[in-house]
Structure 1
Amino acid sequence: MTHVDAHATLPRSLTRPPVELELVIPAFNERERLPATVAGALRFLARRPWSSAVVVVDNNSVDGTPDCLDRFAASAMGRSVGLHVIGCGDRGKGAAVRRGIETSAARYVGYADADNATPIETLDPVMALLRAGHGAVIASRHAPGAHLTVEQPRLRRGGGAVFRALARLTLPDVADTQCGFKFFPGPLAREIVHDCHVDGFAFDVELLARVVKAGHDVVEVPVDWTDQEGSTFSARRDGLRSMTDLLRISLTR
């Protein structure tokens, strides 16, 4: 397992070895949930035919999040799937995801939430669609065939409905922009993140809007999704900012 200074800017010479797929996991104070998510991802990827790596991006955690992964270092010898821990000094999930993508050299790259709400097995259809040439392949809780094993609380569902309505101003053909499981061809992702600036929870919309603006499509994969406790999203703290970001994205697309 490799560690990189959270305040360092990674030069190209220090980027990770190229693999076919990199799974980026942004993490802010995820000491409790992250180990199980990483362990499950490593087990799954080790059984797949493509070369791969898991990249945890620590977003200024104060609970010792990077340290909770030290136990994986003991089993690093002989492991077919790489595990890397890097830092992101800029606050916000969007900043952490961009850091993971821009430092990647993988053929395909994407991100998943640390809470493991979307089953890692979703990567099987995702990889098939990426190899077929699609520009973005994303998990969706609202596409036909999706199933919510455990739903969000009612207040979160109401806020989510308002968010989706505003997101459709920019992405009218995408049913679910906010499910935290999105993957892209590596060269395309690395190109578009340089034009992305939203650090908050609307960053997914900005990223997908850039994919579409570049002339590529977005494909949704229905998932069995389970709401997990411990979300860092606060309606009071993040709601207004997210809505403002959505309106700004819709005006600049």
Structure 2
Amino acid sequence: MMDEALEFLDDKQKKNPSYSYEVIVVNDGSTDKTSEVALEYTKKYGSDKVRVLTLEKNRGKGGAIRLGMFVARGQYILFADADGASKFSDLIKLEKLMSEMRNSENMAVRSMFRTFLMYGFHFLVYFLCVRGIKDTQCGFKLLTRDAALLLFSNLHVERWAFDVDLLYLAQRFKIPIGEVAINWQEIEGSKMIPVWSWLQMGRDLLLIRLRYVLGAWRINTDIKKLK
């Protein structure tokens, strides 16, 4: 993912010298060599283009992404899974969507079992939390800086179902949401355990719905106080 992303962004900057970018790698408390490998890119491209954040303890995907969002400096902020399941060049489609806001379906290639679980999960998402979104879990989302600050400041779920919490909040704030077709493929070695992870997310969906309805989770709507 890093080679593909940096090659794409560098090429874009060469074509448009006024274009700037940064890549933030968040290591969610892993014991592998993620930070060491990422720091090699910092040495090669400079700390203004590649920054590495390492959490001492695992906080979950949502927690790691939240940290990245809060330290990001760009006008538009993209978060993407590090496994390379999506093509980084599809960023062009998301950028175009920011101005056109047209809906589409993801061009995804998944196993039959994973597809079955996905449809069951999407039914629960539609029934309990978020409607009008075909794929809430795609790990390739682009946000404006203001939207990212507002949403991640109010985010309560830090693990697999954080995307649902994020989109639920976006709809509560009436932030425009759109989907585009991207190329996506299932990558072997994913940390998500199909059955157990989906059960955890199902539990989180119920908690998201109940806690917001009962007022256990409060929402801060004043973005000026968050800056």
Distance 1:187 1:194 in 2: 11
- What is the CA distance between 1:220 and its match in structure 2? 0.1
- What's the CA shift string for 1:45-76, capped at 9, x where partnerless? 11223311110000001012111123324422
Amino acid of the structure 1 residue aligned with 2:82:
A
CA gap of 1:84–1:74, structure 2 versus 1, over 3 A, is: closer
Higher strand share: 1
Cα distance in structure 2, aligned partners of 1:68 and 1:120: 19
Provide closer, same or farther for how the CA distance between residues 147 and 76 of structure 1 changes in structure 2, counting only shifts above 3 A: closer
Provide the C-alpha distance between the structure 1 equivalents of 2:41 and 2:205, rounded to a whole number of angstroms: 39
Within 5 Å, which residues of 2 pair with 1:156-235?
Answer: 156-169=114-127, 170-235=129-194
Identity score, percent: 28
Amino acid at match of 1:47: D
- State the number of aligned residues: 205
- Judged with a 3 Å threshold, the aligned counterparts in structure 2 of structure 1 residues 223 and 133 are, in CA distance, closer, same or farther, namely closer
1:124-148: CA deviation from partner (whole Å, max 9, x where unpaired): 1211222x286xx9xx9xx44x433
Give 1:173 shift: 0.4
Which letter does structure 2 place at the counterpart of 1:202?
A
Which runs of 5 or more structure 2 residues have no equivalent in the other structure? 214-227
TM-score (norm 1): 0.74
Q: Determine the structure 2 residue equivalent to 1:70.
A: 39
Alignment correspondent of 2:220: none
Q: CA offset at residue 236 of structure 1?
A: 4.2
The gaps in structure 1 that reach 5 residues or longer are 1-36
- Choose the corresponding residue for 2:50, options 75, 83, 86: 83
Q: Which moved more, 1:112-121 or 1:45-54?
A: 45-54
Query: How far, CA to CA, are the matches of 1:98 and 1:69 in structure 2?
Result: 19
SS in 2 for 1:100: helix
Task: Confirm or deny that 1:38 pairs with 2:2.
Answer: yes
Task: Supply the distance in 1 between the matched residues of 2:70 and 2:43 (Cα, whole angstroms).
Answer: 28
* 3-state SS in 2 of match to 1:75: helix
TM-score (normalised: structure 2): 0.82
- Give 1:52's aligned residue: 21
> Structure 1 residue 164: deviation in Å?
0.7
Deviating beyond 4 angstroms after TM superposition, the runs of 4 or more aligned structure 1 residues are none
| Distance in 2 of aligned mates of 1:107 and 1:64 | 30
